[in-house]
Amino acid sequence: MNQDTLIRDRYRELVDLAVDGILLGSHEGIITEANEYMCSLIGMPREKILGRHISCVPFCPESMEKNPWRFDLLQKGEIVVSERNILRPDGSRIAVEMRTKMMPDGTYHSIYRDITLRKKTEEALRESEEKYRFFIQETHEGVSLIDENGVVIIWNRMMEKITGIPLTEAIGGYQWDLMYKMFPPEKRNPEHLNSIKVKILNSLETGIPPFNGPMLIKSVRNDSEEFFIEQTVFPIKTSKGFQFGSINRDITQSRKLMEHAFQSQKLESLGILAGGIAHDFNNLLAGIYGYIDLAISNTSDSDTAEYLKRSISTIERASGLTRQLLTFAKGGAPAKKVEKLFPFLKETALFALSGSNVSCDIEYPDDLPSCNFDRSQLSQVVENIIINAQQAMPDGGTIKLSACNVIIGRNGHQVLPEGKYVRISIKDSGTGIHNSILPRIFDPFFTTKEKGHGLGLATCYSIMKRHNGCIDVESGTGHGSTFHAYLPAAEIELLPEEISSFSRHTGRGKIVVVDDEEIIRTILCKMLALLGYEPVCMESGEKAVEFFIQQKTAGNKIKAMFFDLTIPGGKGGRESVSEIRNICLETPVFVVSGYAEDPVMSNPKEYGFTASICKPFTMTDLEKMLNANLK
């Protein structure tokens, strides 16, 4: 074997051992050499390749269109690299990377590398990245990522919505500069900005987050709208150092719901205490009230009568304070009646402003629906807000009282269910309420006034809640305040109001009076005696029921019975009336209580009573009830 043959054979062996396909061609494009791996790539034996034109290699047409032959570059002696797909005879498809060079003698040398796996991997990575980007953009939480220098490189749509900072402004900006835009005005100073910058840079250097666990952040959106973010920050290790990602959740609405729930819990807890205090206070007032009323009836001295009447006027103011306490006492219910809101609200507002330097502009549509409400309680709401508005305008001005129909859809309001409502709005042009105290204005006993007791707006809140409505406020320092009170629109037609005239009451017969307070028993018995009845006083429900059974068995008629609603350590009216009704349905049974807001007092007939009367009461109040229920 000569030397040339030996070299050629070794060259052949070397070419066949190559892990890339090797193809040689003449300047006319005729294939002159192909190794075994090249034959396996295109799926054709060597004898069917050699001597044929390069076009016999089954390149896919679309890849040829995308990567045509670059003869211009080849003729310059450059190595041309291109990617093409090959469709083999068995139907399989592979991707190859071609590296081609034209030799000085005009022949072509090409190396083909199978990149099918690489292309599949790249495609999988591309799809994965697209899914990742889609997930990041479409998630309902704000996602951001800063690189090793603190520059923002990811800022999804939810981050735009939460912060009010657009993507185009966020990407490429420094994290601390974006945070500065969201600082509340009181924190926008160079010292605070620098401290934030130092913390972020330290975290990027050490990989330790600036805080542990979720953190609540109070921010300002678009320089005005306050919002709250719950943010979780986590480090990402890279070859250059650390990046930091963050998950951000806007909890502004849920925080407001929590505040509403917390407000309700505070009112309910306080209501237990307030109800007990007001009940005992009403018992004391009832005694004073009753004795003064009796004294007025028995005096012929006009001066004395006038003094006594003024005393009653003072007591009525004290009684009004207990009514405010009882308004948010636990378990209370307003004595509601379906009627028109106007002109009642107009009269209430004008009365509250009488003698002041503030006028009232009133506006409401003719088709405003009726509502089911307690006149006394709703007047408290309007008077409290009107008086607050007047005090916020010491130099005078105009308060606007308006009402309109509102339809609330599902999730249309953070507290109210869907339905038809009447929204009562009271707007002033006063000093407004500072953001720092706005969340607390409905708290019991919270006040900014030197002589205030802090029950006004707390009472309004409780009243509207008990009417299945709510009260909201819009305010800002120097921009005035607008209070919105929502009442459900009545679903039944308004019935014509019954007109009745008062007349003095007289009667005869035995009436049982049950109360654990001696002063109440004495006052009520004296009043009944003046009206012609024979009162029988008792201090417990057990004795009253036993007495009633005895009289019924003996054939003696009981004209009526009065029960205190609650008697400590014994049967009160609620327990006693059920026993009385098991024996007799006809005997009138009246309930008396200082718990004016108890459901029994609002709907006595549902609990077996004939009617109810609240402490403190006058002789006139008693006569009106007896006129309506005793013939």
Q: Is 225 helix (H, G, I), strand (E, B) or coil?
A: strand
Domain contains 493: no
Q: Which of 276, 262, 376 is nearest to 331 (CA)?
A: 276
HEC profile of 407-460: EECCCCCCCCCCEEEEEEEEECCCCCCCCCCHHHCCCCCCCCCCCCCCCHHHHH
pLDDT at 550: 94
What sign does the CA torsion over 164, 170, 176, 180 have?
Answer: negative
pLDDT at 497: 47
Q: What's the mean pLDDT when you consider all of the chain?
A: 83
- Token code pair at residue 265: 């819990």
Higher pLDDT, residue 157 or 315: 157
* 500 has pLDDT over 50: no
Task: Give residue 498's pLDDT band: very low, low, confident or very high (50, 70, 90).
Answer: very low
* Residues 345 and 484 reside in one and the same domain: yes
Strands 215-221 and 358-363: unpaired
pLDDT at 231: 87
Check if the beta carbon of residue 630 is closer than 8 Å to that of residue 588: yes
pLDDT at 504: 85
Find the range with the poorest average confidence among 132-141, 312-321, 553-562, 572-581.
312-321
Q: How many C-beta neighbours within 10 Å does residue 611 have?
A: 16
DSSP characters for 534-558? EEEEES-HHHHHHHHHHHHHTTPPE
pTM metric for this prediction: 0.42
Check if the beta carbon of residue 346 is closer than 8 Å to that of residue 482: no
* 453 has pLDDT over 60: no
pLDDT at 402: 95
pLDDT at 318: 65
d(CA 577, CA 565): 10
* Residues 106 and 146 reside in one and the same domain: no
* 493 has pLDDT over 70: no
User: For helices 302-327 and 252-298, what crossing angle results, to 10°?
Assistant: 160
| 514 phi-psi bin (left φ>0, alpha ψ -120 to 50, beta other) | beta
* 90 has pLDDT over 50: yes
Average of per-residue pLDDT across 81-109: 88
| Burial class for 422, CB neighbours closer than 10 Å (0-12, 13-18, 19+) | buried
Q: Which of 161, 339, 378 is nearest to 250 (CA)?
A: 161
Partnered with residue 237 across adjacent β-strands are 242
d(CA 507, CA 513): 16
Number of domains making up the chain: 4
pLDDT at 484: 95
Q: Which amino acid is at 144?
A: S
Partnered with residue 397 across adjacent β-strands are 358
* 287 has pLDDT over 80: no
Per-residue pLDDT of 53-71, as tens digits, reads: 888 888 888 878 887 888 8
- Token code pair at residue 201: 């840079």
Average of per-residue pLDDT across 529-541: 93
Check if the beta carbon of residue 371 is closer than 8 Å to that of residue 422: yes
When mean pLDDT is compared over 40-49, 78-87, 263-272, 558-567, the highest value belongs to: 558-567
d(CA 402, CA 482): 11
DSSP state of 30: B
The helix or strand, by DSSP H or E, that contains position 596, with its residue range, turns out to be none
Per-residue pLDDT of 352-375, as tens digits, reads: 888 889 999 999 998 899 999 888
When mean pLDDT is compared over 129-138, 160-169, 314-323, the highest value belongs to: 160-169
Percent of the chain exceeding pLDDT 70 equals: 86
Find the range with the poorest average confidence among 384-388, 455-459, 511-515.
455-459
* Residues 520 and 611 reside in one and the same domain: yes
Check if the beta carbon of residue 13 is closer than 8 Å to that of residue 5: no
Domain contains 270: no
Check if the beta carbon of residue 350 is closer than 8 Å to that of residue 360: yes
* Residues 110 and 161 reside in one and the same domain: no
Domain contains 309: no
Task: Give residue 321's pLDDT band: very low, low, confident or very high (50, 70, 90).
Answer: low
Angle of CA points 484, 489, 494, to nearest 5°: 130
CA 546, 549, 554, 557: dihedral to nearest 10 degrees?
110
- Specify the CATH number for the domain of residue 174: 3.30.450.20
* Residues 227 and 161 reside in one and the same domain: yes
* 298 has pLDDT over 60: yes
Provide the terminal-to-terminal Cα distance of the chain, rounded to the nearest Å: 145
| 223 phi-psi bin (left φ>0, alpha ψ -120 to 50, beta other) | left
Q: Which amino acid is at 318?
A: A
* Residues 101 and 150 reside in one and the same domain: no
At which of 118, 148, 182 does a domain end? 118
* Residues 562 and 479 reside in one and the same domain: no
**Boundaries of domain holding 24:** 3-118
- Specify the CATH number for the domain of residue 371: 3.30.565.10
Average of per-residue pLDDT across 443-465: 73
pLDDT at 499: 39
DSSP state of 583: H
| 139 phi-psi bin (left φ>0, alpha ψ -120 to 50, beta other) | beta
* Residues 466 and 535 reside in one and the same domain: no
The helix or strand, by DSSP H or E, that contains position 387, with its residue range, turns out to be helix 375-391
Q: Which amino acid is at 298?
A: N
* 537 has pLDDT over 90: yes
Task: Give residue 331's pLDDT band: very low, low, confident or very high (50, 70, 90).
Answer: very low
Percent of the chain exceeding pLDDT 90 equals: 29
d(CA 413, CA 348): 28
* Residues 481 and 517 reside in one and the same domain: no
pLDDT at 293: 77
d(CA 140, CA 138): 6
For residue 374, report the phi and psi dihedrals to the nearest 5 degrees.
-95, 115
Task: Give residue 208's pLDDT band: very low, low, confident or very high (50, 70, 90).
Answer: confident
Domain contains 192: yes
d(CA 362, CA 343): 10
d(CA 592, CA 562): 7
Average of per-residue pLDDT across 416-445: 86
At which of 195, 218, 250 does a domain end? 250
Domain contains 290: no
Find the range with the poorest average confidence among 272-276, 437-441, 465-469.
272-276
* Residues 182 and 229 reside in one and the same domain: yes
- Specify the CATH number for the domain of residue 551: 3.40.50.2300
Domain contains 180: yes
pLDDT at 297: 75
Domain contains 298: no
* 330 has pLDDT over 80: no
Question: What are the strands, taking DSSP E only, across 251-377?
Answer: 337-339, 358-363, 371-373
* Residues 345 and 459 reside in one and the same domain: yes
Domain contains 494: no
Higher pLDDT, residue 141 or 411: 141
* Residues 158 and 84 reside in one and the same domain: no
d(CA 533, CA 588): 14
- Token code pair at residue 356: 């002041």
pLDDT at 486: 96
Q: How many C-beta neighbours within 10 Å does residue 616 have?
A: 26
Per-residue pLDDT of 585-620, as tens digits, reads: 999 999 998 776 678 887 899 999 999 998 888 888
Per-residue pLDDT of 336-345, as tens digits, reads: 778 899 988 9
At which of 453, 488, 523 does a domain end? 488
* 227 has pLDDT over 90: no
